[in-house]
Amino acid sequence: MKNFKYFLAALLLCLSLNSNADEKDIFGEIHVSVNGLVCDFCAQSIQKLFNKEESVEAVDINMDEGMIKIDLKDGYNMDDNLITKLITDSGYNVERIYRVE
């Protein structure tokens, strides 16, 4: 019976570690490669737009690289379609979206 308790405790620990690993795949940091970011005004307008979204913790824009980094709040996700819509509605083209674990 004692060995069964240890086995059960180890199994529960493994299951909890796996569930945390899944969260890393969903939440965190999103990088968006964008064409057309040429001025500070462009960057500020996109930053304000994303900061209005409930799921966004912070936005960092690197105009030299044409990269938008979106940090999400814990427990939130943001769909690629929404990201693309927000950027294209602002007049820019999304080249690539990828998520950082």
Lowest mean pLDDT among 6-10, 25-29, 30-34, 73-77: 6-10
With beta carbons less than 8 A apart as the criterion, state whether 78 and 56 touch.
yes
**Does residue 6 lie in a domain region?**
no
Looking up residue 88, the CATH number of its domain turns out to be 3.30.70.100
pLDDT at 9: 55
Task: Kindly state whether residue 44 falls inside one of the protein's structural domains.
Answer: yes
Domain count, the chain: 1
Residue 76 lies in a domain: yes
Is residue 94 a contact partner of residue 53, using CB atoms and an 8 Å limit?
no
Residue 42 maps to a domain: yes
Spatial distance between the Cα atoms of 80 and 62, rounded to a whole number of angstroms: 19
pLDDT of residue 25: 40
- Per-residue confidence (pLDDT) for residue 70, from 0 to 100: 97
Question: Residue 73: is its pLDDT beyond 80?
Answer: yes
Q: Within a domain: residue 8?
A: no
Q: Is residue 17 domain-resident?
A: no
User: The domain containing residue 80 runs over which residues?
Assistant: 28-100
Percent of residues, the chain, with pLDDT higher than 70: 73
